[in-house]
Structure 1
Amino acid sequence: MPTVNSAFAYCDQLVRDFEQVIARPVRSESSVYYTGIDLGTAYIVLAVLDENYRPVAGAYRFAHVVKDGMVVDYIGAMRIVKELKQELEEKLGRELLYAAAALPPGTFALDSGAIKHVVQGAGFEITKLLDEPTAANAVLQIRDGAIVDIGGGTTGIAILRDGEVIYVADEPTGGTHFSLVVAGAYKLSFEEAELYKRDARNHRELMPVLRPVVEKVSSIINRHVREYPVQEIYLVGGTCCLAGIETIIAKQTNLPTYKPQNPMFVTPLGIALNCTQEIL
């Protein structure tokens, strides 16, 4: 099955630009800045775009403030977002006012208030809350297929038809479960397993160990897409950085499965692309 797609040209260029400004922020003459805040189970990511929605700065931090897609440490989440906001403001020499955020699909009724208060408590005016796969599609620009966001705690699925989301789902299996398997197999602490898993040099060795978890994710995808005429799967989320994950999912689902060059930053950039100056 193929693992690359020319449709990712815009996505991959945007991510490359973002990776560059994380290291070297751009002090532009922009009249406004738009921030996307991705509160993940493993990482909190802030992506900042200028008035023309081009990346100018970004930052991320490993954190345990979200579990299974839900905020479990409200004060910790607010503190980290506030610290990252201040860090980026110092680098840009400008105040960041507007931000958008996202949630796993199907969790709006349970957690939208908490996410909103985290963003506001960090000093932003929140302008939009959307589900994570929809945010990712602002970058992927997929018309038809399934976007699968495998994050730290959950796997979110959005099925698109003619560019519109017609179905969303979210289940609690993600990178945390991968790390637990690594910890058990190698007799490591959870934190040590996280670091070991994130090192791309270990991915070939880890794949046989992690294959059962990848197959479980594949079964989740199968269960949610079987009632729809899905022809292709598109992977995003930090857990998809695992080399070879797309090959196993393609084999298990019998569907062409693609992922961009760095799937970790697709969703936060999509969130930022949805930010406006209209207060929520």
Structure 2
Amino acid sequence: MVSPALPPLREVIARHGLSASKALGQNFLFDEKLLDRIAAIPGDLAGRNVLEIGPGPGGLTRALLRAGARVTAIERDPRCLPALAEVSEAFPARLTVIEGDALTIDPAGLFDAPYDIVANLPYNVGTALFIGWLSGENWPPQWRSLTLMFQQEVAQRIVARPGNGTYGRLAVLAQWRSQAHLAMKVHRSAFTPPPKVMSAIVHVTPGTMPEHVSARMLERITEAAFGQRRKMLRQSLKSLNGAVEALTTLGIDPQRRAETLSVDEFIAIARQLSR
């Protein structure tokens, strides 16, 4: 797709006097080749609806538009709106910018058709947004895929397997009815200003919803189990009525700890308690 001429992002930032806000968890990416690689992770975006969170001055936004997407971007920082307006003018009717807090906006109300979420998430709200998109009883969700940049440590927690030190509640929530994999690592030097930690991009696609399992019950079980992860399951789950008995019924040793249970075992416990 032929892209309209836009000034380099560094020039736009300098002209508008923008700087990354630590309070908002901002770090800017300028490398167009890198941004195009990120935009390619969900597959062909031509004509598809994409939700972007925290576009900042619009680096990734440009890449998504170059890939042919129709982008709806939610930006909390009013300083970035003039730069995004320039991008919108360059791609008529392809970019909608909403000023607001993504934590308070329901994406389902923004689209009439399925959409993809692609975002360099602000570090301070990324995990909360991610859990929100994975939650709820309605499945499959309206989103077709999540392509999200996190701190590398968080990304590793999302794709971790049982027995790994990073395996926890986030991994179970991401994997019990979705497929999650680490799509790309991004060196800290790629950002302006460079963060203190490395980053990585996780790609998630919805899977099949296990039968007879309440999403809310599974969320409660993982919250209790990993909230006291050093304790045996008979202790960490005792606040959930019937949970210890469910372990016995399922043949799961109540002396085990949460980090040793597979995703399928958590699903089995949730199914038992959902009856």
TM over 0.5: no
| Greater relative contact order (Cα < 8 A, sep 6+) | 1
Write 1 or 2 for the structure with the bigger share of helix. Answer: 1
Write 1 or 2 for the structure with the bigger share of strand. Answer: 1
What's the TM-score, normalizing by structure 2? 0.28
What's the TM-score, normalizing by structure 1? 0.28
Which protein has the larger Cα radius of gyration, Structure 1 or Structure 2? 2
